[in-house]
Structure 1
Amino acid sequence: MASRPVRRADAQRNYDRLLAAAETVLDADGAGASLDDIAKAAGVGNATLYRHFPTRGKLIEAIYDQRIRLLCEAAENRVTARDPGKALIDWLREVVVHLTESRVLAEAFMAAQPGPPGVEPPQIAAWHKAVDNAAAPLLAAAQADGAIRPGLDATDLMALTTAVARAGSPEQADAFLDLLLEGITPRQGN
């Protein structure tokens, strides 16, 4: 994840407003949403938008980076929970929501990236690694508590969770996650 530069207070407010407006506009209008509409929704001029985000790709990357950062912080905040199994499961539900709500954003990010089609940009690999690293302590705590079967590593868990979130419709994701959780949770008496 990219490090956050230090900004003046007014510049940080504009940056935050642009990110919030961009999420809303992109979610409503899709990957081709107008950058002018985003600036207008944020209450800033086009020059302010382009000063912070010189390209559509940089804007989308910043939004996604923020979402990943918040997801990783949520995992970190749960590591010392009294019920490690519940902490992991609650976080996995948050991951599924993130993935189902970020479909348009992820597609827009990929479309805005230069390079050969079908090849993941390095930033996506960095985000995957950050999420895997965030999941590892939660998973280890849940396994140590006996809430999750041993032998599963964070990378495999996140791959399964991602597959669950992307299979079928977003409405089905929660039911699919329940099936996954049933498979990784030890049964009583085993």
Structure 2
Amino acid sequence: MLTAADSVLSSHGAAASLDEIARLAGVGNATLYRHFPTRARPIEAVYEQRIGELCDSARDLSAAPDPGAALTTWLRAVAAHVATSRLLREAFLADHPGPADVEPPQATAWHEALYEAAAPLLSRAQDAGAARPDIGIAELLMFLTAATRTAPQSADRAVELLMEGVLPRSVPAA
């Protein structure tokens, strides 16, 4: 059901039909509603799964032999997530109305989970000299998310340009 929910929500966003999710999953509406009693639940479950996968990936990549390449690989995965989650994000926000400048609590928890999982990845890259020491994971993800949301079709380019700014700067000889 989660795969069907991901597919339908990613394709239709806030206009997604719960009946379509049930049909695609090959289950009856009652089964769907037992697992997802509110419209918000399948959206949150899909997001939870995607964020969990990104966190697992960050932890796995933290042991990679090349910390700079590992960080870049993970940032590409995050960029792909942001680029492909536009309609899912809209559906989530539609079900969690609130002040425009206040993030829903669940989104805050997801961001904190990403920061916690990715901080060691960035730290290893910084220790290896593959990333500037003056950038934090929240700042890095903020820039990546902004660039990717602006031009989702250019997510790889956004990572490439971001990494140019993340790489340590060489100090000219005096």
Question: Would the TM-score normalized by the shorter structure come out above 0.5?
Answer: yes
**Shift of residue 188 of structure 1?**
5.9
Structure 2 residue ranges without an equivalent (≥5): none
Question: How do residues 23-172 of structure 1 correspond to structure 2 at under 5 angstroms?
Answer: 23-168=6-151, 170-172=152-154
**Shift of residue 171 of structure 1?**
1.3
Distance (whole Å) between structure 2 residues aligned to residue 86 and residue 20 of structure 1: 30
**Shift of residue 116 of structure 1?**
4.2
TM-score, normalised relative to structure 1: 0.85
Greater than 3 Å deviation, 4+ residue runs: 114-118, 187-190
Partner SS, residue 130 of structure 2 = coil
Amino acid of the structure 1 residue aligned with 2:40: G
The answer to which of 115-124 and 74-83 deviates more is 115-124
Distance (whole Å) between structure 2 residues aligned to residue 106 and residue 167 of structure 1: 14
Distance (whole Å) between structure 1 residues aligned to residue 145 and residue 39 of structure 2: 25
Partner of 1:14 in structure 2? none
TM-score, normalised relative to structure 2: 0.93
Q: Structure 1 pair 189/100, CA: closer, same or farther in 2 (3 Å)?
A: same
Greater relative contact order (CA < 8 Å, ≥ 6 in sequence): 2
Q: Deviations over 1:22-59 (max 9, x none)?
A: 11112233321111111011010101100010111111
RMSD, matched Cα: 1.5
Distance (whole Å) between structure 2 residues aligned to residue 183 and residue 116 of structure 1: 32
Partner SS, residue 109 of structure 2 = helix
**Would you say the 8 A contact 1:36–1:46 is kept in 2?**
yes
Taking every aligned residue pair, what percent have the same amino acid on both sides?
54
